[in-house]
Amino acid sequence: MKEDKLYRSRDSGMEPFRFNSAVAEVFPDMLRRSIPGYAATLEAIGSLASRYVTDGSNCYDLGCSLGAATLAMRQGIRASNCRIVAVDNSPAMLERCSEIVAADRTAAKPTAIDIQMEDVRETVIANASMVVMNYTLQFLDLQDRDAMIKRICDGLVPGGLLLLSEKVTDDNSHMNQLLIDLHEEHKRRNEYSELEISRKRAALDNVLVPETVGAHRQRLIKAGFAHSGVWLRYFNFVSIVAIK
């Protein structure tokens, strides 16, 4: 795992954050040090896959990056004749994802994985028993998010599941600032400097646009999900399960 040093250089943070080859090279370390609860999310994806994925269905990892959620699903799946569709629009991410998937030997009877390079807003979702959007929706334009979640719901089979993980903001400004401060302290404990934290915050400004938990819950209801709830919250990061 290569250490994330992207925001130590003098010019870093001057350009908007992009999922390019430099990010792909250090992405596992970036996630480990930046997103509290990330490992627990992956563990839950495997557990949910064992419970909700059905025979002959499709699973989708929308915004798959290096394929961590894809492989978590594969390791959890107990159903037969399934396939996982892993989608991302970053060539650098998918190149490395393909290598990681090809080297995977963790499942006794591995589910087929179809890696696709495209915008998730254009992905055809059909006969799906499980869909994962692990910190992906937050990078889509706000005006596209309702339609994205509706398309996912429409493509799920009855009883199918969506796992949606997002960075969020809080309605209460005092609590929101507290959560931001706690997250930044988490980064300091993981040996990011004040300058690195500041530069990455600037790079993500207007690229990652968070919403409240309430906004996500309302969108899920509007899309047609029968049940939804937050199963994990760690500071300003949440993971929501929604069932059709």
Tens-place pLDDT, residues 34-68:
999 999 999 999 999 999 999 999 999 999 999 99
Residue 18 falls inside a structural domain: no
Radius of gyration from C-alpha coordinates of the chain: 18
- Confidence category of residue 11, pLDDT binned at 50, 70, 90: low
Query: The CATH number of the domain where 130 resides is what?
Result: 3.40.50.150
Residue 71 falls inside a structural domain: yes
Residue 176 falls inside a structural domain: no
Residue 234 falls inside a structural domain: yes
Residue 230 falls inside a structural domain: yes
Rounded to whole angstroms, the Cα distance separating 226 from 244 reads 5
Q: Helix, strand, coil proportions of the chain in percent (round to 5)?
A: 45, 20, 35
**Count of alpha carbons within 13 Å of 209, Cβ hemisphere only?**
10
What are all long-range contacts of 94-103, with beta carbons under 8 Å and residues at least 24 apart?
Answer: 94/64, 95/24, 96/24, 96/25, 96/27, 96/66, 97/64, 97/65, 97/66, 97/67, 97/70, 100/66, 100/67, 100/71, 101/67, 101/70, 101/71
Is the separation of the CB atoms in 132 and 65 below 8 Å?
no
Residue 106 falls inside a structural domain: yes
- Confidence category of residue 143, pLDDT binned at 50, 70, 90: very high
Residue 203 falls inside a structural domain: no
Query: In Å, how far are 5, 175, 205, 218 from 210, measured between CA atoms?
Result: 25, 15, 10, 15
Residue 24 falls inside a structural domain: no
Q: What range does the domain containing 153 cover?
A: 38-169+209-243
Higher pLDDT, 80 or 107: 80
- Domains of the chain: total: 1
Give me the mean pLDDT over the 164-192 stretch: 96
| pLDDT tens-digit series, residues 212-227 | 999 999 999 999 999 9
Higher pLDDT, 108 or 44: 44
